Amino acid sequence: MTETIKTSLTALCVRMRQTGIVNAAKEARLIIAHVLETSYEAVYFHPEQFLTKQQLYKIAELTERRCQQEPLAKIFGHKEFWGLSFMVTKDTLDPRPDSESLIEGLLSHFLEKERPLKILDLGTGSGCLILAALSEYPNAVGVAIDKSYKALLIAKANAINLHMANRCHFVCSDWATALQGTFDVILCNPPYIALDEVLSAETLHDPESALFAEKGGLAEYERLAEDLSKFMTSQSQLFLEVGHTQKHLVQRFFERHGLHLLSTRWDIQGHERCLILGNLYSFTEKR
């Protein structure tokens, strides 16, 4: 019997709902669109289209992966962030909407988009933060750091795909231990989840090194606080992602080493997700 998108969709939704996937119809259409190399809208508005045996097999294979709680981004191999498409793999953290608060904070503090900023991204992963920043500041240059060589390969591929490879250097290092010099902007989304915290099965498809930290999720903030001031001038600012309950603890770490909280940015749930840190007197300086 020949199947159409409509008849296939019915079976897929039943299977996906059995495994607790709430938005089964939407996700099933996204899987079909991915296999057909077409848009979600084309699948939605043309349910009468016939599917080949090869297409049906591939759709079933991807659906089973989703039913095992693998995120769609990992299945498809890409994720959107700041309006840009990023390649992702098991070696990179999937870009999350909450992290866009760092880019929002950057834009609110550095208003001159033609400014030739030097931007450092610590723990770059897929490169989403540094490349989103460079997309907004056409004269800026960046350095992206990650201790995972495999993640750096993905970040470099994303830079090439987004035509920004000539403005960003990629360095394999444990935080900034291999760096010298100073930067106008530092972006960082470190691991901040406590080792004993229970996460969803989907989240656990991300690399553990990008998720978990010792000392209740605070260990990497302590390390960063000790080292980052030497890479900052009196005008530099650090845009740091934190867990939604960690603001005050992280703030104290950095204050001990001369960096003070200038302002914060909220994520889409209303949590103070981005801390903006710098020298105390730079708060009132016009950007």
- Say yes or no to pLDDT of 188 above 60: yes
Identify whether residues 96 and 46 lie together within a single domain. Answer: no
The 10s digit of each residue's pLDDT in 122-137 is: 999 999 999 999 999 9
User: How large a percentage of the chain has pLDDT more than 70?
Assistant: 97
Q: Residue 283 pLDDT > 60, yes or no?
A: no
For residues 100 and 36, membership in a common domain is answered with no
The answer to pTM > 0.75 is yes
Of 50, 68, 86, the domain-final residue: 68
How many domains does the chain contain in total?
2
Task: Kindly give the interhelix angle for 100-109 and 128-136, rounded to the nearest 10 degrees.
Answer: 30
Lookup result for tokens 């394999």: 172
> Which alpha helices (DSSP H) does the chain contain, by range?
5-18, 24-36, 40-45, 53-67, 72-76, 100-109, 128-136, 149-161, 214-217, 219-227, 247-255
Query: Are residue 195 and residue 55 in the same domain, yes or no?
Result: no
In this structure, the answer to whether residues 81 and 217 fall within a common structural domain is: yes
3-state secondary structure of 144: strand
Q: What is the pLDDT of residues 214-265, one digit of tens each?
A: 999 999 999 999 999 999 999 999 999 999 999 999 999 999 999 999 999 9
Instruction: Judge whether residue 141 has pLDDT over 80.
Output: yes
pLDDT for position 280: 63
In percent, how much of the chain has pLDDT > 90?
94
- pLDDT for the residue numbered 119: 98
Look at residue 208 and tell me whether its pLDDT is greater than 80.
yes
Same domain flag for 43 and 101: no
Which structural domain range is residue 55 located in? 5-68
pLDDT in tens, 8-47: 999 999 999 999 999 999 999 999 999 999 999 999 999 9
Domain boundary among 68, 98, 116: 68
Domain co-membership, 21 together with 97: no
CATH code of 128's domain? 3.40.50.150
Average pLDDT, the chain: 95
Residue 272 has pLDDT above 90, yes or no: yes
Give yes or no for a contact between 143 and 172, defined as CB atoms under 8 angstroms apart: no
pLDDT band at 178 (very low <50, low <70, confident <90, very high): confident
pLDDT band of residue 268 (cuts 50, 70, 90) is: confident
Q: Which residues make Cβ contacts (< 8 Å) with residue 26, sequence separation at least 6?
A: none
Q: Are residues 219 and 121 in the same domain?
A: yes
Distance (Å, whole) CA 179 – CA 101: 26
pLDDT band at 279 (very low <50, low <70, confident <90, very high): confident
Span 85-108, pLDDT tens digits = 999 999 999 999 999 999 999 999
Domain boundary among 33, 52, 68: 68
